[in-house]
Structure 1
Amino acid sequence: MPIHDNDRHAVVLDVGRAYTKCGFVGENEPRVIIPSKLDGSKKGEGVYLHEYSNEKELHFNLVKFLHHIFFKYLLVNHRERRIVIVESLLCPTEFREILANVLFVHFEVPSVLFVPSHLVTLYTLGINTAFVIDIGHEETTMIPVCEGTPLIHAWQAQPLGAKAIQGRLESLLLLRAKVQGSDGQKVDLVDVIPKLSRGILEDIVVRTCFVTTLPRSRQLVASRTNEAGPSPPVPPPTILYPLSGNNNLTLDGSVREESAEVLFETDNEMVSLASMILDSILASPIDFRIPLAENLVIIGGGSMMPGLKSRLVSEVKDLQQHPKYLSRIALKALKVHRPPAKSNYAAWLGGAILGATEAIATRSYTREVYLQTNHVPDWNNLADNTKEIDSRAG
């Protein structure tokens, strides 16, 4: 009986920087979404998988983490399950190799299929060409996919994601926020908590922050930079966020509104999310530029902030009128797809769809082959992607 039959569904894993999605092929959502970390004493927040100091530490953490997944969350015998790993094409080779070693050697899984997240996301939509934008925790990666082929030479990536938003939020809170105690008196946050934990910052962003519109953002910038300029717009309501004990954090409306602006500000090289999109489309074949612009797919947990997708489209349309792009690209329309899943696990769903096909039997890397070679084929290794020349050819 084939391992991928109904009674032994393959396991699908998407190990992200912040969260890991795990479940089985053929299902429409992960069984569980858990933080990509181990419980530990590192600042009281645990140890994240991607925050390791050497290969030995990463190997130990992956063994413990995957053990929890197999025996606590999925309740399966890993020796009888094929594995589908949904990964970014820009995933570090070191992490990929150690993950494969842990699965094949320690857990003795029969086979592993590595699938690129930007490509399999299109499986959820049934399209072959799209511009996939993955806004994750630590970075945003953009890769155009043309007729089922990711264009690696046109990729774009910047450290702009949920982590950047949380960093901006923390700096704004330490500068402006007040803490209100049970007696009603307010004191500066920095005098109560000099540094907010990652968990609190993430919770504040998810519960209270949003992305404002482009015209309102420009009005906010003009009011800050020009004293004689227009008056600032009316800020959103101030809310109270409960901290430890009877202390409540006063969240000013301007803080909730301005935290996400870090995604749209240009750096010293005049790079922003909008410029990354246009630069990547310009690096694509000219015949695919309009189809790519009309098939934007935005995924990743960082893209789930209210207002982010519409703001990003507005930014791109506005930047297109800049002299740098006006004479080089003429996009008639920008259209954003809505995958049949939440943005944070759309790539996982694509992996679950692909894993339910015969590809898992024909394209997987088996344990027997791995034990002979001790190597996993990689897209960026010429030794794995160069066709052998037939010595008999004349």
Structure 2
Amino acid sequence: RFERLLQSQYLLIDSRPRRLVLVLPSSLPLPLVSTVLDTLFTNFQPPTISLMSAPALTTVAAGLRSALVVDIGWSETVITSIYEYREVQCTRTVRGTKMLGEEMFRMLAEVIDPSVSEEDETTGEKIRNILSFEECEEVLARMAWCKPGKRPEQQALPVGLTPVEEEDELRSSMRAMDISEDHAANPMQAIPLRSTDPPITLKLPFSKLAEPCETALFGAGKLAHDLDDQELPLHLLVYRSLLKLPLDVRSICMSRIIFVGGGSNLPGLKSRILGDVAALIEQRGWDSVQGKAVDQLRNNPKLRRTRSRQAGEGPTEVLGDEIVTSPGLMDQEPDPIEDELKREARKTNPAVESGNLRAVESLGAWSGGSLLSQLKIPSVSVVDRDAWLQHGASGASRSAEISIGTQRQSMGPGAFKSAGGDRSSWTLGLWG
């Protein structure tokens, strides 16, 4: 009786079995997924559990079908490309909030005791005893910020897509607080510390509190070729993630960049990443080949003119004194029917935003999962309790073996399926 009262009045649930929606990262190993499913089926006894990807649900919560989800988490930053509710690619870097906290801790320790900057065997143990981790976390949450980057001038790019200039919320907030970027007019900030022995009050310039972000998230002081693939700066990882995408997917995703995770709340971080990515696009374009030869070709107008002339000529066949151009290089004849269809489509369908760097807000993965649950749209991976307890993970079929006899829905192909699908075969989806 007490359990029923607790569930119905205080926990606002009843004892009836409920279908569960499990939001998981796409890179979660299968043994952990199996352990979670065993625990839920044994203790809560739901009839079915739907497995959904966190980046895809983040895209749903933003009201989008495609997006580039940048998850700045604790131990790493994961960038996932979503196109039509499908995960196209996933890249990651070890630069996250943990590394940012370590840099902030080291900076505060060096200000408190300048002798810890000298590297020796006792430096690590000495730093740990200077300041508590909890107080460093509080300073990071209250005082840390990100410097604005160098914004490129708005102009058309010779190659690729043109980024637009985003609003710099950090500059407006600094103007509201009467803070100048000039170091001579940089105000001093008083930070009381109670975990030190004895308690002290640090006085630091405001720009000093942005240095940990420069080192931890943007790799200040290090060259790109000296870094491993798993420790790239955030702006470079976003640029390379967009560069690896196909052209049509890239044009859609670059206009729908979603920043999530605790580290994304750092003031000025979003605009800094967008500004640095725009600078990389202006500097390199969408050419994956980099080096001195490419820079010489890009900066030498004579080489570019010769290359464009050769590309424009194309293969030709000489018949006497007459030069015949290849049909593949000739302009197509205008098709009035196709032009009319395009004009009618533009009248009914709204214009799709693409080709511009733009950040989009999202309500988060849990809001997206709640939305799909209320709409009663099950995912591709729906695990039945009886089938799981009988066969376990070995009973799951591969994606190619799944028989889906339903038509294509408006939610996109392959992302979700209607409730009338075939339940005789089931799959673990991304986690199988």
Under a length normalisation based on structure 1, what TM-score does the superposition of the two structures give?
0.63
- Which residue pairs with 2:315 in the alignment? none
Q: Secondary structure at the match of 1:257?
A: helix
Mark the CA change 1:126 to 1:289 in structure 2 (over 3 Å): closer, same or farther. Answer: same
Q: Secondary structure at the match of 2:188?
A: coil
Mark the CA change 1:106 to 1:255 in structure 2 (over 3 Å): closer, same or farther. Answer: farther
Q: Does 1:256 align with 2:209?
A: yes
CA distance in 1, matches of 2:201, 2:34: 44
Q: Secondary structure at the match of 1:80?
A: coil
- Which residue pairs with 2:4 in the alignment? none
Q: Secondary structure at the match of 2:45?
A: coil
- Deviation at 1:248? 4.1
- Deviation at 1:210? 0.8
Q: Is the 8 A contact 1:131 1:143 kept in 2?
A: yes
Q: Does 1:119 align with 2:73?
A: no
- Aligned-partner residue type, residue 387 of structure 1: E
- Which residue pairs with 1:141 in the alignment? 78
- Aligned-partner residue type, residue 191 of structure 2: L
CA distance in 1, matches of 2:284, 2:43: 56
Mark the CA change 1:269 to 1:102 in structure 2 (over 3 Å): closer, same or farther. Answer: same
- Deviation at 1:177? 3.0
Q: Secondary structure at the match of 2:23?
A: strand
Instruction: Say which of 83, 91, 94 aligns to 1:156.
Output: 91
- Which residue pairs with 2:400 in the alignment? 386
Mark the CA change 1:212 to 1:368 in structure 2 (over 3 Å): closer, same or farther. Answer: same
Instruction: Say which of 196, 199, 221 aligns to 1:247.
Output: 199
Instruction: Say which of 313, 334, 337 aligns to 2:360.
Output: 337
- Aligned-partner residue type, residue 93 of structure 2: Q
- Deviation at 1:142? 0.9
Name the stretch that deviates more: 241-250 or 205-214. Answer: 241-250
- Deviation at 1:103? 0.9
Q: Is the 8 A contact 2:388 2:395 kept in 1?
A: no
| Structure 2 unaligned residues grouped into runs of 5+ | 1-6, 115-124, 152-181, 291-353, 404-432
Q: Is the 8 A contact 1:320 1:326 kept in 2?
A: no
Q: Does 1:357 align with 2:375?
A: yes
Q: Secondary structure at the match of 1:85?
A: strand
Map Cα deviations across residues 184-237 of structure 1 (whole Å, 9 max, x no partner). Answer: xxxxxx979626454333322111111111149xxxxxxxxxxxxxx9665453
CA distance in 2, matches of 1:131, 1:365: 28
Q: Is the 8 A contact 1:124 1:349 kept in 2?
A: yes
Mark the CA change 1:254 to 1:177 in structure 2 (over 3 Å): closer, same or farther. Answer: farther
Mark the CA change 1:91 to 1:198 in structure 2 (over 3 Å): closer, same or farther. Answer: farther
- Aligned-partner residue type, residue 201 of structure 1: C
Q: Secondary structure at the match of 1:321?
A: helix
Mark the CA change 1:316 to 1:376 in structure 2 (over 3 Å): closer, same or farther. Answer: farther
Mark the CA change 1:85 to 1:257 in structure 2 (over 3 Å): closer, same or farther. Answer: same
- Which residue pairs with 1:295 in the alignment? 256
Instruction: Say which of 265, 268, 271 aligns to 2:227.
Output: 268
- Which residue pairs with 1:11 in the alignment? none
Mark the CA change 1:272 to 1:97 in structure 2 (over 3 Å): closer, same or farther. Answer: same
Instruction: Say which of 97, 102, 111 aligns to 2:39.
Output: 102
Map Cα deviations across residues 315-354 of structure 1 (whole Å, 9 max, x no partner). Answer: 101122344845779x952011122x3xxxx122111111
Question: Over aligned residue pairs, what C-alpha RMSD do you find?
Answer: 3.7
Q: Is the 8 A contact 1:236 1:257 kept in 2?
A: no
Aligned counterparts, 1:273-292, within 5 A = 273-292=234-253
- Aligned-partner residue type, residue 294 of structure 1: S
- Deviation at 1:370? 1.2
Q: Is the 8 A contact 1:178 1:250 kept in 2?
A: no
Map Cα deviations across residues 48-85 of structure 1 (whole Å, 9 max, x no partner). Answer: xxxxxxxxxxxxxxxxxxxxxx99x9564576333222
CA distance in 1, matches of 2:36, 2:193: 39
Aligned counterparts, 1:218-229, within 5 A = none
CA distance in 2, matches of 1:192, 1:274: 30
| Structure 1 unaligned residues grouped into runs of 5+ | 1-69, 180-189, 217-230, 390-394
Aligned counterparts, 1:296-311, within 5 A = 296-311=257-272
- Which residue pairs with 2:122 in the alignment? none
Q: Does 1:212 align with 2:230?
A: no
- Aligned-partner residue type, residue 25 of structure 2: S
CA distance in 1, matches of 2:112, 2:365: 37
CA distance in 2, matches of 1:192, 1:328: 43
Q: Is the 8 A contact 2:106 2:127 kept in 1?
A: no
Mark the CA change 1:74 to 1:135 in structure 2 (over 3 Å): closer, same or farther. Answer: farther
CA distance in 2, matches of 1:388, 1:362: 10
Map Cα deviations across residues 261-293 of structure 1 (whole Å, 9 max, x no partner). Answer: 111115624732122112222222221211111
- Aligned-partner residue type, residue 29 of structure 2: P
- Which residue pairs with 1:366 in the alignment? 384
CA distance in 1, matches of 2:395, 2:183: 55
CA distance in 2, matches of 1:78, 1:249: 55
- Aligned-partner residue type, residue 251 of structure 2: I
Overall identity of the aligned pairs, in %: 24
Mark the CA change 1:237 to 1:77 in structure 2 (over 3 Å): closer, same or farther. Answer: farther
CA distance in 2, matches of 1:206, 1:376: 45
Mark the CA change 1:164 to 1:332 in structure 2 (over 3 Å): closer, same or farther. Answer: same
Mark the CA change 1:122 to 1:362 in structure 2 (over 3 Å): closer, same or farther. Answer: closer
- Deviation at 1:314? 0.8
Q: Is the 8 A contact 1:138 1:159 kept in 2?
A: yes
Q: Is the 8 A contact 2:243 2:286 kept in 1?
A: no
Mark the CA change 1:75 to 1:274 in structure 2 (over 3 Å): closer, same or farther. Answer: same
